[in-house]
Structure 1
Amino acid sequence: MDLNTVLEVRDARRRDAWQAGDAWLGGGTYLFSEPQPHLRRLIDLSRTGWDPLRITATGALEIAATCTIAQLSRYPKPAHWAAGPLFEQCCRAFLASWKIWNMATFGGNVCNSLPAGPMISLAAALDGVCLLRSQAGALREVPVAEFVTGAGRNVLQRGELLRSVTIPARALESRTAFRQASLYGLGRSGALVIGALDPVDGGLTLTVTASTVRPIRLRFPLAPNAAAVREAVEYAIGPGEYFDDIHGLPAWRRHMTFRYAEEIRRELIEEAGR
């Protein structure tokens, strides 16, 4: 879609003062999908030269905001990353065309902060941490699970940029289980639950997204039974936190969340013989 109110496209490497009507441009798959009458300038991130993905000195995975879904999918996952399959599962949760895969960015999906954002699901489930940069150059870190505060809402301040998300080495070695539901074969996620089993202490973490307006994280230091998981989900997610749109009623999303949480508990705890 043509954005006929945009008067200028600026290179993000030029540190211009942020103005009203500015927006960061990554892949543009959202910006150009619908009218944006409030925008006057786009600040283009495509020439920043950030490595899409890199392994840090501690063995963590740093994912640049400009990393595309295709790059994330193709990235070779080391054999010791027990969580490796989760990357492809979340990439496939986009149910998008190859054109979207090759343009849409990891950071764009996180910053849109929609309930069905699968990169939010991936990063929140694996203890991802956002690195945010202000216009003055100050940096701060925010866990992905706390970055999104509601449907389409997050903690970004005026002119602040998501530089990258880092997933710690310990989380990459977690065994995971993935469950996703959509009302239609090629529909948006209505419920998405991910379980992760800590490789060090054996604790179970359940991360609920898509069915809720923000990521919900539940941690069980000891192996829970079915009643404990149900009680935790009931307590952690209030009735008003289940998302309501054409992709699923809150009652259905709630039902699928409870169902998937128990399925994941069985897969990671009971079937693994823990």
Structure 2
Amino acid sequence: MDLYNIETYLRPKSLREVQDWQPNWNWLAGGTWIFNEVQPQVKTLVDMQRLNWSEIEVTPGGLSIGATCIQNDLLDFSFPEAWTATGALKDAVRELASFKLSHAATVGGNICLALSASTFAPVMIALNASYEIWQPNGEPYFVNAIDFQTAPQQTILQPGEVLRRIKVPDGNLTQWQTSFKRMAVCTAGYAIAIIVTAYHPQTNRVRFGIGGSIKSPRLIEFDTVPTPEQIVSAIGAFSPQMYIDNERGSAAYRRHITQVLMQRGITELTTGIKGKRRY
């Protein structure tokens, strides 16, 4: 879609070139969302491509993913063999959208758009990732993935702030096994529940990244493999107002599906019997 109201197009090579941020400015990463619907409030686009933030790096501390990394690049990257949890990152790409979209959309763009059906947000939460945020006139700072999104299409980012990179600690990648489960009204439709389960066989620790069914992604952790009753109790602690209630699915239905997918995810990982990703 053409954005006829755009008056200025900036292509900075560094963040220092972006000065005096205005309310009608908008960052442009892959562009798959911003060019998908009318943006009457946007007058200036700040293209991020020349910032060269598209890296995927294996570091002594773990994994670093640049904000403008194309999603499909995660499928082609050769991760260390011991990093078994990176399967969840690849599943997030496979379950997000079409082949065409994943070759243009960025990892950071999906996270910052903060849709309830984001496939990356629950993965990053399950892997205990952190986000490096750059400010136009200040020092960079880090925020935990669980604290980044506050509501559908709302994050902690202030005007002019931008996600620079995602970091996942080595300890949350090594020897963890993951399961990605997604439920939609129709197979390729908008997700009404997404559950990313991370399981550490040596310690029996379990982490559930929850998205799709609730207004902002959440984390549930267990020190040992939970029983069905413990899963029911854990999601019962969520406020009823936290669940999305719309034409795609009622709050009660989304809560039930969340419970079902959590149970299927941990059963798959503890039995070794591979199930479906998409329902």
Fold match (TM-score > 0.5): yes
- Give 5+ residue unaligned stretches, structure 2: 273-279
**1:117 is matched with which residue?**
118
**2:6 is matched with which residue?**
6
**2:243 is matched with which residue?**
242
Separation in 1, partners of 2:97, 2:140: 34
Q: Please list, as runs of the form range in 1=range in 2, the aligned pairs for 1:42-53 lying within 5 A after superposition.
A: 42-53=45-56
Q: Please list, as runs of the form range in 1=range in 2, the aligned pairs for 1:189-204 lying within 5 A after superposition.
A: 189-198=191-200, 201-204=203-206
**1:210 is matched with which residue?**
212
**1:24 is matched with which residue?**
27
Separation in 1, partners of 2:194, 2:34: 25
How far off its partner does 1:130 sit? 0.6
Shift of the 155–199 alpha-carbon distance from structure 1 to 2, 3 Å rule, reads: farther
- Residue identity opposite 1:70 in structure 2: N
- Residue identity opposite 1:121 in structure 2: P
Residue aligned with 2:115, SS: coil
The answer (yes or no) to whether the contact 1:130–1:141 under 8 Å persists in 2 is: yes
Separation in 1, partners of 2:104, 2:228: 41
The answer (yes or no) to whether the contact 1:197–1:205 under 8 Å persists in 2 is: yes
Separation in 1, partners of 2:60, 2:83: 16
- Residue identity opposite 1:68 in structure 2: I
How far off its partner does 1:186 sit? 1.3
How far off its partner does 1:50 sit? 2.4
**2:258 is matched with which residue?**
257
Separation in 2, partners of 1:232, 1:183: 25
The answer (yes or no) to whether the contact 1:129–1:141 under 8 Å persists in 2 is: yes
**2:277 is matched with which residue?**
none
The answer (yes or no) to whether the contact 1:177–1:196 under 8 Å persists in 2 is: yes
Separation in 2, partners of 1:130, 1:218: 20
The answer (yes or no) to whether the contact 1:63–1:164 under 8 Å persists in 2 is: yes
Cα-Cα RMSD? 1.6
Shift of the 140–200 alpha-carbon distance from structure 1 to 2, 3 Å rule, reads: farther
Identify which range, 137-146 or 125-134, moves more after superposition: 137-146
How far off its partner does 1:64 sit? 0.7
Residue aligned with 2:189, SS: coil
Residue aligned with 2:89, SS: helix
Residue aligned with 1:100, SS: helix
Separation in 1, partners of 2:150, 2:83: 29
Separation in 2, partners of 1:267, 1:27: 34
- Give 5+ residue unaligned stretches, structure 1: none
Separation in 2, partners of 1:51, 1:187: 28
- Residue identity opposite 1:40 in structure 2: K
Q: TM-score, normalised by structure 2?
A: 0.91
How far off its partner does 1:49 sit? 1.7
Separation in 1, partners of 2:117, 2:33: 14
**2:67 is matched with which residue?**
65
Separation in 1, partners of 2:220, 2:153: 22
- Residue identity opposite 2:259 in structure 1: F
**1:231 is matched with which residue?**
233
Residue aligned with 1:111, SS: helix
**1:15 is matched with which residue?**
18
Q: Count how many residue pairs are aligned between Structure 1 and Structure 2.
A: 268
Residue aligned with 2:60, SS: coil
Residue aligned with 2:142, SS: strand
How far off its partner does 1:206 sit? 1.2
How far off its partner does 1:85 sit? 2.1
- Residue identity opposite 2:3 in structure 1: L
- Residue identity opposite 2:218 in structure 1: I
How far off its partner does 1:52 sit? 2.2
Separation in 2, partners of 1:231, 1:200: 25
